[in-house]
Amino acid sequence: MTVNSTEPMTETLPIGPLQEGMWLFWRLNPASPAYCMPEIFHFEGEFVLEAVEFTFNELIRRHESLRTTFRETEAGAVQVIAREPEPRPVEVLDLRHLPEGERSERLQSAINAAANRPFDLEAEAGIRLTALRVSDSRTTLVLVAHHLVCDGLSMAVLLDEFGELYRSARRGVPAELGPVPPGYSTFVNRQLATLANGTYEEERKYWRERLAGITGSALPGAVHSSVRTPVARDTALMSLTLDDTLTESLTAFARRTRSTQFSVLLAVMKVMIAAATSEGTTVLGMATSGRTPEFERTVGLLANTIVIRSEIDLTQSFAETLGEVSLDLMEAIDHQDLPFSRMIADLDAEQQLGSDILRTVFTAGAVGSLKLGEGDLSEVFARTDQGPFDLHVACDIVDTGIALDWEYALGTYPHEVARGYAAAYQEILARLLGEPDAPMDSLGLAEVLARVPGLAGGEAAGATPAVAADRQAAEGEEGGQDAVFTPVEETVAAIWTEVLGVPVESPHDDFFDLGGHSLLVGATIAEVRQQVSQSATLRMLFDYPQLREFVSQLEVDGRPA
């Protein structure tokens, strides 16, 4: 339910369920650009700053998510919508004074800086526009939105409306955009009401059964660190464009099997992982649009994350496997309305952050374009230096061809390994399409994967550090340690008991083992800050989940607790 703020120029409402995980990520990684979405364009023609600023501010006026900030309160995270925000200037960096030889290097540096500059979401709205003046006739525009306020389809809407607003401003006529679409607050309130009335119980049951006991799948690489804290990973990106012959073969096979090109590409990734890991169960994350016709042009985070779980039997044919994966995909989409944060809330403590469920994400890229109606406009490949996943593959499927953008965590996949996997994927795709009715284990998939450079023999995709062993050792020692609560520990234990709904019986109890998860961390820290110490932070609870260790990190009256 929307709560009117005491400030007449703002409106406050709870953070949306689809935003919860990303908000937690930002609070733990505020200096990371992992969820920044840059769109970059080179413009050859007359640059009119007044028309660009008018267009930018009209977008902000039309879409409340673009004039929203966020903050934590005692009641939880909220978003604050400015009803009539002050006009936002376009940031202008003039490079025209530089010698021509320096301009290109400085331009690339400025683009990277603008694309990777993090947002302070508590103090500023999650969108900005930078104009880089390269010459009197050339300007580079860098539009960046934070994913918390804008998903991929929302960006497509923004680019479309930006073009219409700019063209109309240059002609001096009203823009033909139609009525302002429903605001994101309407979507959030609708979703919160649906969660409260029990409509999603069937979906909760489906995901509880579907996700029980699983971890996300990943191609073998460097040792994967299983961490409770959502972390920003340094990433690199490469694009794999399928040649015309392979694209035609894929399209024809999808048509013949009454499938889609995306389903075929997804099934190939699952087969590749199964062949590389010798594990039959494959678990990949995927984004869904979450849009009904009513919210088709609403800007905000409407995209949800679902998990596609499949059993891959390499003795079957690819045609059979595609049919099964397609059914898995359709079944997951049929249950896409439950927000991902709620899907994982019912899982075991080790799964509840979702970080080990979403190791590999395979999505269809959103397609949008900007048309200014004058000059010459060209889009520039854009990326940020960090991401939240080990591997994120975005499939761009358009009439002119198919490209797969591989964003990979450098700590998991060194460059040569990632390039090797991309090449192996293309070869495996060709082999599966060439003999779709043959047993897949007869097609030499293992030999293809063996050529991936930089992999040591016997390396396992699921390898994790000895976190579990360390925990068991600590628990084994617990009996010989003092199990008496200190006064501060008693207060914190009472807070944990209240939040978790289960008794805390030992100062060595683990918050997550007791059933805590990411949705409860914020409420717990808020209570600790109010009752015990303002020094408590989210990261502190993730890093020190045992009660005694957590309390030892607190400062009470200026001294360690």
Query: Which tens digits make up the pLDDT trace of 45-91?
Result: 999 999 999 999 999 999 999 999 999 988 889 999 999 889 999 99
Please give the pLDDT value at position 348.
Answer: 57
What are the residue ranges in the chain where pLDDT is below 50?
1, 3-4, 350, 457-480
User: Is 288:306 a contact under the CB 8 Å cutoff?
Assistant: yes
CA 120 → CA 30, 60, 451, 477, 523, distances in Å?
7, 17, 44, 43, 21
Whole-structure pTM over 0.75, yes or no? Answer: yes
C-beta atoms surrounding 208 within 10 Å: 14
User: Is 171:320 a contact under the CB 8 Å cutoff?
Assistant: no
Tokens of 172: 């001096």
Please give the pLDDT value at position 554.
Answer: 92
Instruction: Report CA torsion sign: 516, 518, 523, 526.
Output: positive
Q: Give the type of residue at 504.
A: V
Tokens of 376: 């010459």
Instruction: Name the β-bridge partners of 286.
Output: 306
Nearest to 286 by CA among 367, 365, 371: 365
Non-local CB neighbours of 245 within 8 Å, separated by 6+ positions: none
Which phi and psi angles does 236 have, rounded to 5°?
-135, 165
Count how many Cα atoms sit within 13 Å of the Cα of residue 524 in the half-sphere of its side chain: 30
Non-local CB neighbours of 293 within 8 Å, separated by 6+ positions: none
d(CA 502, CA 498): 8
SS3 content of the chain, % helix, strand, coil (to 5): 40, 20, 40
d(CA 151, CA 148): 8
For the beta sheet containing 10-14, the strands, ordered from the edge strand earlier in sequence to the opposite edge, are 10-14, 76-82, 68-73
Please give the pLDDT value at position 454.
Answer: 75
